[in-house]
Structure 1
Amino acid sequence: MKLMINHQTHYHYSDVACNSIQYIKMTPVSNLHQHVYCWDVSVPGQKEIKSDAFNNIWITSSQRQSYNQMSIMAQGVVEINQTTQFGVETDINPKLFLQPTFSTLCNAEMKSFAECYVPRVNRANLIALSEAILGYIPYTPDQTSVQTSAIEAFQCRQGVCQDHSHVFIAMCKYLGLPARYVSGYLFVPNTAHLASHAWAEVFLENTWYCFDTSNQLFTPNSHIYVAIGRDYWDVAPVRGIRERGGIESMHSIVQVLAC
């Protein structure tokens, strides 16, 4: 299936900003699951492109001129293989995804929750764990932020795809399973939270398996991969620093359309 993606992020500042550096991970690559026909990221300033430690495409944009607003736009056409059953293979050692991060730590309550649904480690029990997490943490927009950790999301029992992924990854790491955070795009008609998306994948039986807790999808045949990491902070679409600017407000528009 061929998909057209249009991802716009618009920033507005209450005061004049200057001397900013933006780190952008919004570029998918071709692999066995997807073919990128064309892709472009438009961002003001000087642009440098390289790869990060996880082989994600990493754009660094530096802007010296003063500004009150800034837009970053990514768009292109990607064809995905809808028969894909497993996650994308990489040459990164899966053990790297056992590393603890602040966003994917477990407390005692979360450990007991994981043990309840995964008395033995197998894919069926992990699917049951994913289902239980969604039941315990219903999809609730605008109640958490990128700063919310897995423990905080579990305690407040509200969250979005980022929170579901962090909680699931945290529990899988506790169970001794390498688990990674994937950012990308999702095409599923008639759902409340499609488009820009995140999900988890677990290394089991020498294979990466998809666990999209928010949508209860366990194969990535509606997903476009953009970046892979240990948590949100490894794959954040945009991170940056600037001088001045006052209060920042951000508005994002994402469209994923069949073409």
Structure 2
Amino acid sequence: MSSPVDSWRLKIQHKSGFQYAGPVSSSYNEARMWPRNDGRQAVLDAKVEVWPAARTYKYEDYWGTVVTAFDVHAEHETLTVAASSTVETLPPGDLIRDDEGVSWDDLVRPENADRWYELLLPTRRTGLDAELESIVADLRGRCATPQAAAMAVCAFVREEVAYVPGATGVQSDALHAWAQRKGVCQDLSHLATGMLRALGIPARYVSGYLHPKPDATIGESVVGQSHAWVEWWAGRWTSYDPTNGVPVGERHVAVGRGREYDDVPPLKGIYAGPPSTGQAVEVTITRLR
């Protein structure tokens, strides 16, 4: 157990919204911007505000992500959602050694394969091609344990696919990033997730935030990032950030988990009116302690 001095306290301010080409008569929306309480982070306070003003209600979706849902029925040409939260985070602590965890035989036992069935299937964004499946097979043959193979996947993705901001959009997938050997954190996480599942290792995509400075100054507000990383089950859940090549720790704040990005988008909705002309996103993170 980490001592209190090892923890960070982060304030996250996340503002997002849509602009439209004319008046929208109504919209129905979901925001996933509320961090989760779990073993390595504690939410001290959080709120989500909407403009135009609308009544909001919260619930947990199928994957355990907190959703803020709201409808707007007054005419509007812009929609803005502002989320603010303060979260206490811990340093890395859930990684296990390469020689620990379950064996390959354990993974295929019915009690494990059935329990994590949904997190073993490829999805639209995590599917692989024949080249990647061959690479996965080679990794499987060289690694004695699922944990060792999972770490090898993360190292492979980071070495082979360059992190290039703006290289792809939110509609991209693992194969697109692999083909051009560059992408953003969502792409690297989708590729790692797909490779883990192809190995028979249950894996999930995690959406959240990352403080960009390992040596962050207390009280300094910086432009933060919406971020993505992966978690896999090798006897227990463990998390890793393949984009940065580091275990998930005090700089990471988890918001949602699922099979891929489509399960955890920060803001989505449907509306009646003219086309959207764009989406603006601003994330500011301040280390308070």
TM-score using structure 2 length: 0.81
- Structure 1 residue 86, shift from structure 2 partner: 4.5
Instruction: Report the 3-state secondary structure (helix = DSSP H, G, I; strand = E; otherwise coil) of the residue aligned with 1:31.
Output: coil
1:95 partnered with 2:117: yes
Partner of 1:255: 284
- Structure 1 residue 246, shift from structure 2 partner: 2.5
Aligned pairs (5 A) from 1:146-225? 146-189=170-213, 195-204=225-234, 206-225=235-254
Instruction: Report the 3-state secondary structure (helix = DSSP H, G, I; strand = E; otherwise coil) of the residue aligned with 1:199.
Output: strand
Partner of 1:34: 41
Structure 1 residues 13 and 144, CA gap change in structure 2 (3 angstroms): same
- What is the letter of the counterpart of residue 23 of structure 2? V
Asked if the contact 2:161/2:182 (under 8 Å) is kept, the reply is yes
Instruction: Report the 3-state secondary structure (helix = DSSP H, G, I; strand = E; otherwise coil) of the residue aligned with 1:45.
Output: coil
Partner of 2:80: 71
Whole-Å Cα distance in 2 between the matches of residues 79 and 86 of structure 1? 19
Structure 1: gaps of 5 or more residues? none
- What is the letter of the counterpart of residue 143 of structure 1? A
Q: 1:41-82: per-residue Cα shift (whole Å, max 9, x none)?
A: 112323221111112111211001111111110012110122
Partner of 1:132: 156
Instruction: Report the 3-state secondary structure (helix = DSSP H, G, I; strand = E; otherwise coil) of the residue aligned with 1:25.
Output: strand
> Number of paired residues?
254
Q: 1:144-203: per-residue Cα shift (whole Å, max 9, x none)?
A: 122112122211222111000100111111111100001111124079995311101111
Asked if the contact 1:80/1:222 (under 8 Å) is kept, the reply is yes
Partner of 2:4: none
- Structure 1 residue 248, shift from structure 2 partner: 2.3
Instruction: Report the 3-state secondary structure (helix = DSSP H, G, I; strand = E; otherwise coil) of the residue aligned with 1:189.
Output: coil
1:226 partnered with 2:250: no
Partner of 1:45: 54
- Structure 1 residue 228, shift from structure 2 partner: 0.7
Whole-Å Cα distance in 2 between the matches of residues 219 and 118 of structure 1? 24
1:84 partnered with 2:93: yes
Asked if the contact 1:38/1:76 (under 8 Å) is kept, the reply is yes
CA RMSD, 1 decimal: 2.2
Instruction: Report the 3-state secondary structure (helix = DSSP H, G, I; strand = E; otherwise coil) of the residue aligned with 1:103.
Output: coil
Identity of matched residues, %? 28
Partner of 2:20: 13
Whole-Å Cα distance in 2 between the matches of residues 67 and 173 of structure 1? 43
Range 26-35 or range 159-168, more displaced: 26-35
Structure 2: gaps of 5 or more residues? 1-7, 97-113, 216-221
Partner of 1:22: 29
Partner of 1:110: 132
